[in-house]
């Protein structure tokens, strides 16, 4: 396991993707985070509050927010994630697709930095919780899903034609089966005195009658002080506008909620990370409970707010003006940490890979590869499928791997081919091209084996030519034009 390459009490300022990518793998015990939820609005802090001036956007647009680099790499390395995002885009709209891509790449890096005994709590609400659960099943593994926790609160809401919306959702996933979990209890309600209405004269313990098949037994209340085991519906009051811990930050969450998460899934001294830490509720809760912490936020006022909050909580004492003379110094960084491990990034099938530097010809986008291969496999104005030999219009062709990703096949053009949609579906993530030919023969889908072979040869020749002539004007015109 790698050593952390960041210090306790660090607050990173900027887009969390670059900071997450800079963190060593498997270094963090707990990630408790509350990203934007795709609420299609912008949030602003209350003027004159501690957080005055803070704002962040929670609107997502396909053309502005989705990078070709992400879609390509997710399509290649995380086919299940790509399919579910495509489904969400169809069912909900482009904005949900864009939001899921944006958050998906970050959830993959969070998975990488989590230790084997680590846990993720993803705070969301019903706007996207169902799509996010699918995505976490695909990234963290459905066997690592532990709870859907309902945070139930009461607040004032306007009249509407729906039942009042009074809950958020916390999705809890672990990295493996060997996770940290401390069972928590909450006090018994008043019902307990009514239910266990008798008191044993000798021991003072409460008890009640329990009847089984007509026979009555005495049942003692085990431990009055310890309370009842916590279930997955958490009643924690919403932060009112006059609450003492209010900083004015628009989406601030109660400390009680994050303290509970931290107590349940980490021990003293463990490292807690919040990559969307806002006004630092997670760092403050972690500090209160004797955990180490790292917070990341794109908002530039986060640092001042954390210091002011920690000081208000009595956890920092200053004899000189902040920030350099705080006795427990908070490190404020704007550059990502330097990796001191093997530099792995989140990669296919949850395996970690050590990236090697790519040659320029290996970095072609899907669009560019499709264009080159469509020319190589063309015939009579159409494109020949390299799986069945059918001649179809380019729109019916899909880019696939010759050697599957699951088998170590690479993403560059020399391992690519264009297949018609049925062949691509049949090949899925596991068949080789040879395996596809056999499957097509069996299913009587193979139309012209000779043509399919010709298409493959032309594609291979063209890919070799691109590799060998990448810098030539002809090749550049082919890629760019």
Ligand X SMILES: C[S@@+](CC[C@H](N)C(=O)[O-])C[C@H]1O[C@@H](n2cnc3c(N)ncnc32)[C@H](O)[C@@H]1O
- Strands (E) in 259-360, as ranges, are 271-274, 292-297, 331-333, 345-346, 352-353
56 binds ligand X (CB under 6 A): yes
Nearer to ligand X, 22 or 387 (CB): 22
> Which residue is nearest to ligand X, using beta carbons?
278
Q: Which stretch binds ligand X (CB under 6 A): 32-40, 185-193, 200-208, 333-341?
A: 32-40
Q: Which of 151, 276, 293, 445 binds ligand X (CB under 6 A)?
A: 276
Structure tokens of 240? 């009112």
Q: What CA–CA distance (Å, rounded) separates 469 from 30?
A: 49
- Asked whether 355 and 343 are in contact (CB, 8 A), the reply is yes
Q: What CA–CA distance (Å, rounded) separates 9 from 106?
A: 21
- Asked whether 472 and 357 are in contact (CB, 8 A), the reply is no
Cβ neighbours of residue 29 under 8 Å, at least 6 residues apart? 114, 115, 117, 118, 119, 180, 265, 266, 267, 270, 271, 272
299 binds ligand X (CB under 6 A): yes
109 binds ligand X (CB under 6 A): no
335 binds ligand X (CB under 6 A): no
Structure tokens of 336? 């990502």
Residues 121-140, interacting with ligand X (CB under 6 A): none
Structure tokens of 4? 């952390």
Nearer to ligand X, 260 or 456 (CB): 260
Q: Which of 278, 295, 348, 404 binds ligand X (CB under 6 A)?
A: 278
36 binds ligand X (CB under 6 A): yes
Strands 55-58 and 228-229: unpaired
Q: What CA–CA distance (Å, rounded) separates 60 from 267?
A: 37
Q: What CA–CA distance (Å, rounded) separates 258 from 91?
A: 32
281 binds ligand X (CB under 6 A): yes
279 binds ligand X (CB under 6 A): yes
Kindly compute the dihedral angle of the four CA atoms of residues 175, 177, 180, 186, in this order, to the nearest 10 degrees: 110
Q: Which of 5, 8, 15, 460 binds ligand X (CB under 6 A)?
A: 15
Task: Compute how many residues bind ligand X; rule: CB under 6 A.
Answer: 18
Please name the helix (run of DSSP H) or strand (run of DSSP E) that holds residue 95, with its range, or none: helix 94-113
Q: What's the min distance (Å) between Cβ of 368 and ligand X?
A: 28
Residues 236-275, interacting with ligand X (CB under 6 A): 249, 251-253
Q: What's the min distance (Å) between Cβ of 394 and ligand X?
A: 36
Q: What's the min distance (Å) between Cβ of 298 and ligand X?
A: 4
DSSP code, position 467: H
Question: Other C-beta atoms within 10 Å of 358: how many?
Answer: 11
Nearer to ligand X, 100 or 397 (CB): 100
Q: Which of 184, 233, 298, 318 binds ligand X (CB under 6 A)?
A: 298
171 binds ligand X (CB under 6 A): no
396 binds ligand X (CB under 6 A): no
Q: Among all chains, which residue has been given the structure tokens 């802090």?
A: 45
Q: Which of 26, 34, 109, 391 binds ligand X (CB under 6 A)?
A: 34
Nearer to ligand X, 279 or 446 (CB): 279
Nearer to ligand X, 330 or 437 (CB): 330
- Asked whether 250 and 54 are in contact (CB, 8 A), the reply is yes
Residue 479, classified by CB atoms within 10 Å of its CB into exposed (0-12), middle (13-18) or buried (19+), is middle
Q: Which of 28, 296, 310, 436 binds ligand X (CB under 6 A)?
A: 296
- List residues binding ligand X (CB under 6 A): 15-16, 34-36, 56, 249, 251-253, 276, 278-279, 281, 296-299
């Amino acid at each position: 396991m790698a050593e952390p390459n960041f210090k306790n009490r660090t607050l990173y300022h900027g887009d969390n993707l670059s900071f997450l990518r800079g963190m060593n793998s498997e270094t963090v015990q707990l990630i408790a985070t509350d990203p934007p939820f795709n609420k299609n609005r912008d949030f602003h802090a209350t003027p004159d509050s501690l957080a005055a001036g803070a704002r962040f956007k929670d609107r997502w647009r396909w053309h502005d927010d989705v990078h070709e680099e992400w879609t390509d790499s997710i399509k290649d390395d995380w086919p299940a994630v790509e399919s579910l995002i495509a489904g969400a885009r169809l069912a909900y709209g482009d904005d949900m697709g864009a939001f899921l891509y944006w958050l998906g790449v970050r959830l993959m890096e969070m998975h990488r930095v989590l230790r084997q005994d680590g846990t993720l709590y993803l705070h969301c609400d019903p706007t996207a919780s169902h799509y996010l659960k699918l995505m976490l099943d695909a990234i963290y593994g459905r066997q690592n899903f532990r709870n859907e926790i309902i945070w139930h609160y009461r607040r004032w809401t306007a009249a509407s034609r729906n039942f009042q919306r009074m809950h958020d959702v916390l999705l809890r996933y672990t990295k493996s089966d060997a996770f940290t979990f401390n069972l928590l209890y909450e006090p018994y309600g008043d019902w307990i005195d009514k239910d266990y209405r008798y008191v044993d004269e000798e021991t003072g313990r409460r008890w009640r009658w329990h009847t089984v098949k007509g026979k009555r037994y005495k049942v003692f209340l085990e431990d009055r002080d310890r309370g009842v085991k916590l279930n997955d519906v958490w009643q924690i009051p919403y932060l009112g506008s006059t609450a003492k811990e209010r900083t004015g930050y628009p989406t601030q969450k109660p400390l009680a909620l994050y303290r509970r998460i931290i107590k349940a899934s980490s021990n003293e001294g463990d490292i807690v990370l919040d990559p969307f830490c806002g006004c630092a509720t997670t760092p403050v809760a972690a500090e209160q409970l004797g955990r180490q912490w790292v917070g990341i936020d794109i908002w530039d006022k986060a640092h001042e707010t954390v210091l002011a909050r920690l000081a208000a909580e009595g956890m920092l004492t200053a004899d000189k003006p902040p920030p350099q003379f705080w006795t427990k110094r908070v490190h404020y960084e704007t550059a990502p940490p330097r990796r001191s491990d093997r530099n792995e990034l989140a990669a296919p099938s949850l395996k970690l890979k050590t990236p090697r530097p790519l040659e320029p010809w290996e970095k072609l986008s899907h669009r560019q590869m499709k264009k080159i291969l469509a020319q190589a496999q063309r015939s009579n104005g159409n494109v020949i499928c390299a799986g069945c030999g059918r001649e179809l219009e380019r729109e019916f062709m899909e880019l696939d791997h010759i050697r599957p990703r699951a088998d170590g096949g690479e993403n560059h053009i020399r391992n690519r081919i264009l297949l018609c949609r049925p062949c691509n579906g049949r090949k899925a993530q596991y068949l080789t091209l040879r395996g596809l030919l056999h499957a097509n023969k069996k299913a009587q889908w193979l139309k012209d084996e000779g043509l399919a072979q010709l298409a493959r040869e032309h594609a291979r020749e063209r890919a070799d030519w691109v590799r060998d002539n990448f810098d030539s004007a002809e090749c550049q015109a082919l890629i760019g034009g």
